[in-house]
Structure 1
Amino acid sequence: MAANVNPTVRRRRLGSELRKLREAKGMTAEEVATRLLVSQSKISRLENGRRSISQRDVRDLCQVYGVDDDRMVDSLMVMAKESRQRGWWHAFGDIPYSVYIGLEAEAESIRNYESLLIPGLLQTRDYAQEVVTGMQPEATAAEVDKRVEVRLRRQDRIHDPEQAVRFWAVLDEGALHRVVGNAHIMREQLEHLAELSTLPHVTVQVIPFSVGAHPGMSGAFSIMKFPESTDCDVVYLEGVTSDLYLERESDVRLYTVMYEHLRAEALGPEQSRVRIAEVAKEYSE
């Protein structure tokens, strides 16, 4: 297997191919589940890439769908094998948002909106430590450290000289003023944010308080785009007990339009950098 194979993306691509085969056969997920004596939810999870797919699953499904092209079956079997490999994040144990990390690791571009905090890919270690501690009050020190290390490792996508992700962040101005930790941590974080915003592949825009109500007030979200044309965009919404991944074209279009509105209402990149620097100085006083 190639060293750069991403198991999360492989599961997603394989699930998409299996769904196409089922639809071409004119079968519902319930009918397939009945034929294989499994639950309908298993078929759904296989198709949406949220569950690892064994080679046996692929073989059984191909039989149900009447796939007689040996090359296609072999290709799907290889994808199933690769989808069961472990990404770098698995070395850190059970990570609740591991599916997101897998998608983020493969994304060509990410459009992120945050209303309350600095995006994870742009956080300093001290800021990240305070954010994780505050958002997970019952986590042990070891659990907090693990999450912080994972967050910092994810930032390789920003600093990779060869495959850096195109990252566009729109922030509500409130994220600059919410004191996470103390003034010293905030000053360093905002100075770091301003510095990263000068990178050619990173854009940061701030929505000033003067804008008033805006579409992003419903909550944070990210839109991920992938290099392969066969991989559709994904909208990610983080939850307390579970995360939501939207892939339907209509849903992605809605969030894309919303993001364009947010970009239009935000200060331009240069103006945003000036505003971030101004707020950083306030933490020095």
Structure 2
Amino acid sequence: MPNVRAVPTLRRRRLGNALKEYRLEAGLSGEAAAFAMGWGESKISRIENAKARIAPAEVSALLGKYGVEDAETIRALENLARDASKQGWWQTYGDVVALSYTDYLTLESDAESVHVYTPSLIPGLLQTAAYAREIIGATAITRTPAEVNALAEVRKARQAILTTRAEGPPLKLWAIIHEAALDLRSASQPGLMRDQLRHLLDVAELPNVTIQVMDLHATAHPGMLGLFEVVRFPTPWPTVVNLENLRGGYFVEGTDDVKVFENAFERVVAAALSVDDSLVKIKKIMEGTGRDSQH
């Protein structure tokens, strides 16, 4: 059977980065680590650069050479090596799902929790199918109608993670949505937002979902600069921040940079309405009895 070139997937990149950090902490060069394992000189470099596969048993053996003894850490890295080449359900959509989006879906599927602030739209994990098509059609300006429909399907399929997951409990979601995002008008679908707001109230009943609304008259806060998501993982994986623009998403990593966004989210939480008041606000807008619907 011919050798298959290893694809540098996000999981493989994260595994390589983690192994490199432990090697450096052990004070070993790549050549010394390879020698200790009885490997060729270049294998460590290829593993760390996500260009070579590494088996779970090799991961534990390598960590032993690095002096890593924590069982939870070893098990986590073994699991990542085992899942590094696993194909996500979104792979069936082919090139419609851009590489940056594929990376985010991988992060989301591995995450323990997501904290998101959205100033102008409903977060993807909380969107109805009709709302998703409306938003994707308006923002994915280079996409064909068929691709818009496919991306809307992907967005809806993502939401299963809030109620069931093959491995581990459902994702914990904390979403803070600006009040302006609750008052979108659609000329072609008059009932679009009523259905979307009803969906928010329904999903808010899940024990793992927290929804807050940022009032129009809220005090100044860090979220005024735009959408951001803080994605957290089980130990030992570091937190990642996702930022988005018209060309897709990109990640912020590194303890100091991530901490800025974690602190920012805490301040956004403090500036937003309480959970109970947020649900009352959503219900009033949905029923057309709030100030926001009287145009």
With normalisation by structure 2, the TM-score equals 0.75
What is the Cα deviation at residue 206 of structure 1? 0.6
Q: Does 1:184 align with 2:188?
A: no
What is the Cα deviation at residue 149 of structure 1? 1.1
How far apart are the structure 2 equivalents of 1:269 and 1:164?
A: 20
- SS of 1:206's partner is strand
Indicate the residue corresponding to 1:3 in structure 2: none
How far apart are the structure 2 equivalents of 1:20 and 1:204?
A: 38
How far apart are the structure 2 equivalents of 1:113 and 1:230?
A: 25
CA 1:199/1:193 → structure 2, altered by over 3 Å: closer, same or farther?
same
What is the Cα deviation at residue 18 of structure 1? 2.6
- SS of 2:230's partner is strand
Indicate the residue corresponding to 1:91 in structure 2: 92
What is the Cα deviation at residue 259 of structure 1? 0.6
Q: Deviations over 1:63-111 (max 9, x none)?
A: 9xxx699xxxxx9899556412322111111222111100101111111
Unpaired runs of 5+ residues, structure 2, are 1-8, 31-40, 68-74
Aligned pair partner of 2:156 in 148, 152, 177: 152
CA contact (8 A) 2:197 2:282 kept: yes
Aligned pair partner of 2:236 in 230, 251, 256: 230
- SS of 1:111's partner is strand
Amino acid in the other structure paired with 1:90: Q
Q: Does 1:54 align with 2:64?
A: no
- SS of 1:209's partner is coil
Moved more, 16-25 or 144-153: 16-25
Indicate the residue corresponding to 2:174 in structure 1: 168
How far apart are the structure 1 equivalents of 2:144 and 2:23?
A: 46
Unpaired runs of 5+ residues, structure 1, are 1-6, 29-34, 70-74
Matched pairs, number = 260
CA contact (8 A) 2:129 2:156 kept: yes
CA contact (8 A) 1:52 1:83 kept: no
How far apart are the structure 2 equivalents of 1:278 and 1:150?
A: 30
Task: Name the Cα RMSD after superposition.
Answer: 3.7
CA contact (8 A) 1:173 1:208 kept: yes
What is the Cα deviation at residue 54 of structure 1? 3.5
What is the Cα deviation at residue 257 of structure 1? 0.9
CA contact (8 A) 2:23 2:29 kept: no
CA contact (8 A) 1:187 1:284 kept: no
Identity of aligned residues (%): 32
What is the Cα deviation at residue 278 of structure 1? 1.1
With normalisation by structure 1, the TM-score equals 0.77
How far apart are the structure 1 equivalents of 2:51 and 2:272?
A: 40
